[in-house]
Structure 1
Amino acid sequence: MIWLTSCLCHSMFDMADGAKFLLLFLLLNISTLCFCTEQDIQCLKTVQQSVIDPNSVLKSSWNFENEIDGFICCFTAVECWFADENMVLSLHLGNLGLQGAFPQGLQDCASMTGMGLSNNSFSGPNPPDFSRQVPYLTSLDLSYNSFSRSIPQNISNMTYLNLLNLQHNQLNGQIPPQFDLLTRLSTFNVAENCLSGPIPPSLLIFPASNFDGNQGLCGAPSDDCPRSRRRWRPVRIKLHRLNDESSMGAAVGFVVGFVVAFYFSHCFVCSERLRAYVVRI
């Protein structure tokens, strides 16, 4: 009887501990969810403030005063994971007439998987730490803008990418060879830029037209990279050796000149006075 009472007490205690653990787990998840949604709201606020919006598309649509569940999911160009949760799945900002530098604050959209900025007037370089801001992107479309400088090498860390479209910008330099790590790519386009150098081998599966308009780019299915030509190399000359050889040459020349002048003075000396002086010597 005592043993049974003890077991019941232990069971009730274990159930109480289990209930406490479950409650704590739920509270942690709720707080994490709230924290994530707050981050996503902050992400959109920063994006709105960092871009130039001459048509007031984002200014008129992105109203942050209505803080009901999932209110950001009604914003123009915003797609959420769930309609009643403020968690951004993707941003479709294409064709909105936006201008300025690359949008900021994307690191707060921690669960975003898709981003499109095509057909706008964005300019300047892409963020060098872009892969750390949005590491889980599966699609990235920056086409038909004026982005410049080189393609960020660390995009190769975004190994979930299925689509990478950089067409019709002002990008220069090489396609990073590390792009061979992007094994999930099914769409890749860098046409109409200022790129140069060889195309990474893994990207040669894409049509040659996806690389057109880059005069310095080589290795596409339709052409080969030129072989490196042999170049003349400067030869180092040891000065002390040159000086020694010059001294010997001068000495030999002096002796030869003296002998010739002595035995054939009539060929070189026009004056009788000079000839007598040479013979005397």
Structure 2
Amino acid sequence: MAGDAKFLLWLLLLSISSLCFGSELDIQCLKSIQQSVIDPRGELKSSWNFSDGTRGFLCTFTGVRCWNPEENRVLSLLLGNLGLEGPFPQGLQNCESINSLDLSSNNFSGPIPPDISQQMPYLSSLDLSNNSFSGEIPSDISNMTYLNLLNLQHNQFSGQIPEQFDLLTRLTTFSVADNLLSGTIPYALRNLSASNFVGNKELCGSPLDDCSRRRRWRIHIRMHRINDLSSIGAAVGFVVGFVVAFYFPHCFIFSERLRAYVVLLHLL
């Protein structure tokens, strides 16, 4: 209940503050985003016209949803499938009232900002799926306690899923499928479907395979390979030694005593 009251208070404060300076910050936010991303198809360049200046003009931009169509106050940025490229967009901290960010199905790459929760503390939806984001998933995301949806699937994230994600108690939709993650799935996420974690070869724990069983299997496979290599090495060594001994005895018999011993063995 305390969390809900805090959220409602935040909405009230936003509505008051936006009358004074919210619009200018939101304009600066979108300008920074437009400048920091690569836009091969010109989706933002053609739509995001900052010279308009009419009331609520930001709300007509591609992918921009406002709290009120007559206010330049960004509620959501829905920039999925626009062919955008480059690193994580800059300037989002100036969209102070943003509630949802969708960058899915683009060609973004590089890491997520380590202070992402400070840039967008009140997000309820974050969709970065189907890009090429890399590096570790920031544990700072756990401070975005209003998140209902967190979709990071089909990227190149590595390392472990932060244990701090146990703090994301509002999460109803979550996916990290098809990445390069390893380690154990945090306890609070184990009630989700296995489809939300598949495609990470080194990730284990419920609802995927048990970690201890996977480790035992890896050890078994490794020992089996070592035994195979040892057997092959021993066989090759025996054959090579036999051939050398039979055809080139002078290569390893260095004393008359040993030579005599070999001759005696042949006679027997």
Aligned equivalents of 1:198, 1:166: Cα separation in 2:
17
The amino acid of 1:101's aligned partner reads: P
Aligned equivalents of 1:106, 1:164: Cα separation in 2:
17
Aligned equivalents of 2:198, 2:163: Cα separation in 1:
18
Aligned to 1:104: 90
The amino acid of 2:160's aligned partner reads: Q
Q: How does 1:48-127 map to 2 (within 5 A)?
A: 48-127=34-113
Aligned equivalents of 2:180, 2:81: Cα separation in 1:
23
Aligned to 1:37: 23
Q: How many residues align?
A: 202
Aligned equivalents of 2:177, 2:153: Cα separation in 1:
5
Aligned to 2:195: 209
Identity fraction in percent:
67
1:169 is displaced (CA, Å) by: 0.1
Shift of the 218–228 alpha-carbon distance from structure 1 to 2, 3 Å rule, reads: closer
Q: How does 1:175-186 map to 2 (within 5 A)?
A: 175-186=161-172
The amino acid of 2:50's aligned partner reads: F
Aligned to 1:262: none
Q: Is the CA contact 1:170–1:194 (under 8 Å) kept in the aligned structure 2?
A: yes
Shift of the 156–30 alpha-carbon distance from structure 1 to 2, 3 Å rule, reads: closer
Aligned to 2:121: 135
Instruction: Report the 3-state secondary structure (helix = DSSP H, G, I; strand = E; otherwise coil) of the residue aligned with 2:141.
Output: helix
Q: How does 1:187-266 map to 2 (within 5 A)?
A: 187-226=173-212
Aligned equivalents of 1:211, 1:113: Cα separation in 2:
25
Q: Is the CA contact 1:211–1:220 (under 8 Å) kept in the aligned structure 2?
A: no
Aligned equivalents of 1:208, 1:228: Cα separation in 2:
16
Instruction: Report the 3-state secondary structure (helix = DSSP H, G, I; strand = E; otherwise coil) of the residue aligned with 1:148.
Output: strand
1:222 is displaced (CA, Å) by: 3.8
1:220 is displaced (CA, Å) by: 2.8
Instruction: Identify unmatched segments of 5+ residues in structure 2.
Output: 1-14, 216-268
Asked whether 1:158 is paired with 2:147, we answer no
Aligned to 1:46: 32
CA-to-partner distance for each residue in 1:39-74, whole Å, 9 max, x for gaps?
000000000000000000000000000111100000
Instruction: Identify unmatched segments of 5+ residues in structure 1.
Output: 1-28, 230-281
Aligned equivalents of 1:220, 1:199: Cα separation in 2:
7
1:31 is displaced (CA, Å) by: 7.2
1:227 is displaced (CA, Å) by: 6.9
Q: Which runs of 4+ in 1 moved over 6 A?
A: none
Aligned equivalents of 2:129, 2:54: Cα separation in 1:
34
What TM-score comes out, normalization by structure 2 length?
0.73
The amino acid of 1:102's aligned partner reads: F
1:225 is displaced (CA, Å) by: 1.0
1:223 is displaced (CA, Å) by: 1.5
Larger CA Rg, structure 1 vs 2: 1
Q: How does 1:9-28 map to 2 (within 5 A)?
A: none
Aligned to 2:160: 174
The amino acid of 1:37's aligned partner reads: S
Shift of the 75–197 alpha-carbon distance from structure 1 to 2, 3 Å rule, reads: same
Q: Is the CA contact 2:18–2:73 (under 8 Å) kept in the aligned structure 1?
A: no
1:134 is displaced (CA, Å) by: 0.3
Aligned equivalents of 1:128, 1:63: Cα separation in 2:
31
